[in-house]
Amino acid sequence: SLSSRGKGLFATKNIRKGETVFVERPVVSSQFLWNALYNYRACDHCLRALETAEENAQRLLGKSSLVLPHPEQCSIRKDLHQQCPRCQVTYCSAECRQAALEQYHQVLCLGPSRDDPAHPLNKLQEAWRNMHYPPETSSIMLMARMVATIKQAKDKEWWVKAFSQFCSKTANEEEEIVHKLLGDKFKGQLELLRLLFTEALYDEYLSRWFTPEGFRSLFALVGTNGQGIGTSSLSQWVHACDALDLPMLQREELDAFIDQLYKDIEKESGEFLNCEGSGLYVLQSCCNHSCIPNAETSFPENNFLLHLTALEDIEAGEEICISYLDCCQRERSRHSRNKILRENYLFTCSCPKCLAQADDADVTSDEEEEGEGETDDAELEDEMTDV
């Protein structure tokens, strides 16, 4: 998740801790490509996990005999699932199939060419996968859906405006983001991606997006504004089980079962538990970062609907901030935190915590040896541009 410096989201009324500030649907979203290839089955439109909680646990454990207690707490409704009749991608519901078809799927449907490696869209995805191994942070298909959305739209200008709300960067910053997204090994491959992208999707109306500069901008837009999405049938089942009113002994038994299950899954599948993808959210992308955030994003509906929830009481007029760092990163020193923020999001944080730690030594105990090249002057300069 990222945002523009210079924008900001402010509370217009008092918000209580734990309250949902808003629920937001992405303008466009897409599952990550390796995630899909590895059979993390998700709705092609809203990323809702499609396996039952039990199937999900069985696959992650590599153990098809596993039986989950309380199967009635699983929320997956297979009877509602639908496929595109031409290409067989699966949706969680008729509504999602229809929404996808209306917004972008007419352009992106592979029809009978779904498994044809020579199809331009398959070539594009193959090239992306080869440059972007897990853990994934972005997908070329998010950009493809942006193009397809405008190709299909009656009011093209409306969509161009919708996408232009996301923060844009200078040419130098875009270069840095592209480099970060593709990594050292593949930084020269942007041109290859552009050629494949053009072959698969070129559109006269959007000709600017297919130029080297325009493509880099599009790439950077997705890189800086894409918010990660994670869904899981199993975690929804766990939440439902947590909410059950059980006699103490049964409660302890169930809790112990779930704890052990997660330990076993971690051994087998590591950190890759969820269906994962990313999306572009207009409101969320306006939220600035703080190392002591007063709000957080989550996906409790097991689909792409983003919930922004208050972590503290927030007063009217106060800025609503989320953290771009995970909780481990947030515990690190100001120097370490800002190194991550600069590398990934191109800004230096001046939140209250960072300001309070401004006089701390630059390098902390054991965390890192690198990063010595950055002088206080460089940091000062960065901080000034944030004001």
- Which spans of this chain sit near Zn ion (rule: CB under 5 A)? 43, 45-46, 48, 84, 86-87, 92, 96, 109, 291, 349, 351, 354
Q: How far is the CB of 291 from Zn ion (least distance, A)?
A: 3
CB closer to Zn ion, 200 vs 354: 354
Q: How far is the CB of 25 from Zn ion (least distance, A)?
A: 11
Q: How far is the CB of 111 from Zn ion (least distance, A)?
A: 7
Side chain identity, residue 117: P
CB closer to Zn ion, 261 vs 311: 311
Q: How far apart are CA 272 and CA 38, in angstroms?
A: 10
Q: How far is the CB of 264 from Zn ion (least distance, A)?
A: 29
Residues 51, 233: contact at Cβ < 8 Å?
A: yes
Q: How far is the CB of 107 from Zn ion (least distance, A)?
A: 10
CB closer to Zn ion, 142 vs 351: 351
The residue among 165, 234, 172, 215 whose CA lies nearest residue 3 is: 165
CB closer to Zn ion, 192 vs 358: 358
Q: How far is the CB of 188 from Zn ion (least distance, A)?
A: 34
CB closer to Zn ion, 229 vs 265: 229
CA distances to 36, 41, 194, 272 from 54, rounded to whole Å, are 19, 13, 41, 17
The residue among 290, 33, 255 whose CA lies nearest residue 144 is: 33
CB closer to Zn ion, 148 vs 354: 354
